[in-house]
């Protein structure tokens, strides 16, 4: 069979959803008709060498600059270490632990070249976060930055399946004696390439499997069709490579195009702006919270090099969109994606952007709005967002597959409205919808209203239990510099919201806090705030 697996270890294939539980896969573009034998590392990297781009800068950081040839050689050397020194068999899982840097890119490519399955993890994860990942994916191998040794070793004590660890310092010592060429494993396009674990906004993480063809599909649909990235572009961004938003933006898209990517280990607003200006980046990718954090500093930097800014990972508030455009002249490209779908599937660019709307379906995908019975709704109606295309949800040994995939569609858990022109308008996450005295209130809408007030630096709105109304709207607010918490300010903010959106949506409870709980990718962990409200009631105003 032409698509026969190359893997000796069948653990992932044996723990995939049954065929009936998988979403419908749609390959509607000519470039999505990929060959049956495909190794994504080869497709992303080797064509640059063959195309004469070996001496171009592939990946750089404030302290390193690697050409495409150097990246090819280093990833080949690491692949030799995985196979010859560590005993990796095809289909084995490899845990990758590092901040965003060139070595992390080389390790990811090496795992795929060697026929392994990469399981990248956020660098800030603690041992207790790593244990379920290692255990669920039965990971025996790990490549880890030395600075993250402590948590990985602590996790290994409770996850004895992890038996073979190499730290970056050891890898660098061993690489000098290894060949700079490696015959990549002839994987099938439908062999698993990565397991991406969810970032945790809904609690227990889930492992989503993506094939080699899925990685190339996101390059064609998003990198090529939507964004139009070319070899002349310089890409920069803050999302970790362990986050599929970061994997596409900062590894797959630039390598596929033969472009240059700039990797930063820290994401402070001024560091990020300095790097954009210093490296003359043409594309930047980050979350809405990061764009808002940069707004107070943009005037000090020359950002004329930027031709596009992409926002994803969380809903983009309209005030942030408007403020960024005013400060830079650039319209933020909003996008919704999901770990389950690997990358963005609804977005818009340039003149197609409608402020406040996420955008239209990305070429290669289909989307609609459905009701609670999975019946499609007409334009103008609010319901669940349903998506299908060349990628889709494939949970590793998880009963929640039947919740995410229904009738062949991926149900993302987002509440949306589609207008007559095919634009999708975000209403709320399903678990962010607040039902108070019979009224459905989208938490993000209240957040957007609050963010227009100068006293609000950041905020999150959740449901708080209430005996009379069932639930009330509660806002957790981080104050801007120069503002102090007071009852007077609470009343001012409540009246501000009443005068901005429908009065019944105003926050009946407000709590001022120093920081909102967030994942490393910048997503607000509203479930933590909701749990807090369930366990304790708040004063109502």
Task: Return the SS3 of 493.
Answer: helix
> Domain 438-535 is classified in which CATH homologous superfamily?
ANL, C-terminal domain (3.30.300.30)
pLDDT digits (tens, 9 = 90+) for 472-481: 999 999 999 9
Sign of the dihedral defined by the CA atoms of residues 291, 293, 299, 305, in that order: negative
The DSSP output letter for 385 is: E
pLDDT band, very low/low/confident/very high, at 201 (cuts 50, 70, 90): very low
Residue 537 has pLDDT above 80, yes or no: no
Higher pLDDT, 205 or 299: 299
Q: In 3D, which of 48, 61, 155, 51 has the Cα closest to residue 105?
A: 61
Q: Which distant-in-sequence residues (6+ apart) come within 8 Å of 221 by Cβ? A: 29, 32, 343, 345, 362, 363, 364, 365, 389, 390
Where does 266-408 show beta strands of DSSP type E?
283-286, 308-311, 333-337, 344-347, 360-361, 366-370, 382-388, 405-406
Task: Return the SS3 of 128.
Answer: helix
Residue 409 has pLDDT above 50, yes or no: yes
pTM: 0.89
pLDDT at residue 455 in the model = 97
Residue 341 zone, left/alpha/beta (φ > 0; ψ -120 to 50; rest):
alpha
The number of beta carbons lying within 10 Å of the beta carbon of residue 146 is 13
pLDDT at residue 162 in the model = 98
Give whole-number Cα distances, 159 to 127, 131, 140, 143, 166, in Å: 10, 6, 9, 16, 16
The number of beta carbons lying within 10 Å of the beta carbon of residue 174 is 17
pLDDT at residue 199 in the model = 57
User: What mean pLDDT do residues 353-360 have?
Assistant: 96
Q: Which structure tokens are listed for 232?
A: 């002349």
pLDDT digits (tens, 9 = 90+) for 306-320: 999 999 988 888 989
Q: Where in the chain is the domain with CATH 3.40.50.12780?
A: 11-15+27-400+411-418
Burial letters 430-459, b for 16+ CB under 10 A, else e: ebbbbebeeeebbbbbbbbbbbebebbbbb
Residue 538 has pLDDT above 60, yes or no: no
Reported CATH class of domain 11-15+27-400+411-418: alpha beta
Residue 124 has pLDDT above 90, yes or no: no
Higher pLDDT, 122 or 32: 32
Distance CA 530, CA 465 (A): 9
pLDDT at residue 198 in the model = 84
pLDDT at residue 435 in the model = 82
Rounded to 5°, the CA angle 98-104-110 comes to 135
Q: Where in the chain is the domain with CATH 3.30.300.30?
A: 438-535
Residue 405 has pLDDT above 60, yes or no: yes
Distance CA 139, CA 286 (A): 30
pLDDT at residue 447 in the model = 93
pLDDT at residue 61 in the model = 97
User: What mean pLDDT do residues 159-180 have?
Assistant: 97
Q: Which residues pair with 454 in a beta bridge?
A: none
């Amino acid at each position: 069979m032409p698509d026969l697996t190359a893997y000796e270890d069948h653990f992932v294939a044996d723990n995939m959803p049954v065929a009936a539980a998988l979403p419908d896969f749609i390959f509607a573009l000519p470039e999505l008709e990929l060959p049956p034998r495909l190794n994504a590392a080869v497709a992303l990297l080797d064509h640059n060498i063959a195309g004469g781009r070996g001496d171009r800068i592939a990946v750089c950081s404030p302290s390193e600059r690697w050409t495409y040839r150097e990246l090819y050689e280093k990833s080949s050397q690491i692949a030799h270490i995985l196979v010859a020194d560590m005993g990796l068999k095809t289909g084995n899982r490899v845990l990758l632990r590092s901040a965003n840097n060139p070595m992390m890119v080389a390790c990811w490519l090496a795992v795929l070249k060697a026929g392994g399955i990469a399981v990248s993890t956020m660098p800030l994860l603690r041992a207790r976060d790593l244990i379920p990942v290692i255990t669920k994916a039965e990971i025996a191998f790990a490549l880890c930055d030395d600075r993250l040794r402590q948590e990985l070793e602590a996790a290994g004590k409770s996850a004895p399946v992890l038996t073979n660890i190499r730290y970056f310092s050891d890898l660098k010592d061993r690489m000098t004696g290894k060949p700079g060429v490696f015959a990549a494993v002839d994987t099938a396009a439908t062999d698993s390439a990565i397991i991406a674990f969810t970032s945790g906004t809904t609690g227990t993480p889930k492992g989503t499997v993506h094939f080699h063809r899925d990685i190339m599909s996101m390059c064609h649909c998003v990198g090529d069709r939507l964004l139009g990235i070319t070899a002349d572009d310089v890409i920069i961004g803050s999302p970790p490579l362990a986050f599929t938003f970061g994997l596409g933006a900062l590894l797959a898209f630039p390598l596929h195009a033969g472009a240059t990517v700039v990797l930063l280990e820290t994401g402070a607003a001024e560091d990020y702006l300095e790097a954009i200006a210093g490296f003359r980046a043409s594309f930047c990718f980050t979350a809405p919270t990061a764009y808002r954090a940069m707004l107070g500093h943009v005037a000090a930097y020359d950002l004329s090099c930027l031709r596009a800014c992409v926002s994803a990972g969380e809903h983009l508030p309209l005030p942030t969109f408007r403020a960024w455009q005013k400060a830079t002249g650039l319209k933020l490209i909003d996008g919704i994606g999901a770990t389950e779908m690997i990358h963005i599937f609804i977005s818009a660019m340039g003149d197609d952007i409608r402020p406040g709307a996420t955008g239209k379906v990305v070429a290669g995908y289909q989307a609609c709005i459905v009701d609670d019975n999975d019946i499609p709704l007409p334009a103008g109606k609010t319901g669940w967002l349903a998506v299908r295309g060349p990628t889709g949800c494939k949970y590793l040994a998880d009963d929640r597959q039947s919740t995410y995939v229904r009738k062949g569609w991926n149900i993302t858990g987002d509440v949306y409205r589609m207008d007559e022109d095919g634009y999708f308008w975000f209403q709320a996450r399903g678990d962010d919808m607040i039902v108070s005295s019979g009224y459905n209130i989208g938490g993000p809408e209240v957040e957007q209203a609050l963010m227009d007030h100068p006293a609000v630096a950041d905020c999150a709105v959740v449901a708080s239990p209430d005996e009379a109304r069932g639930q009330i709207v509660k806002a957790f607010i981080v104050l801007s510099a120069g503002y102090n918490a007071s009852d007077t300010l609470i009343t001012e903010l409540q009246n501000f919201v009443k005068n901005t959106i429908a009065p019944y949506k105003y926050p009946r409870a407000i709590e001022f806090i120093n920081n909102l709980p967030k994942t490393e990718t910048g997503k607000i962990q509203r479930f933590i705030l909701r749990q807090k409200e369930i366990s304790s009631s708040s004063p109502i105003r």
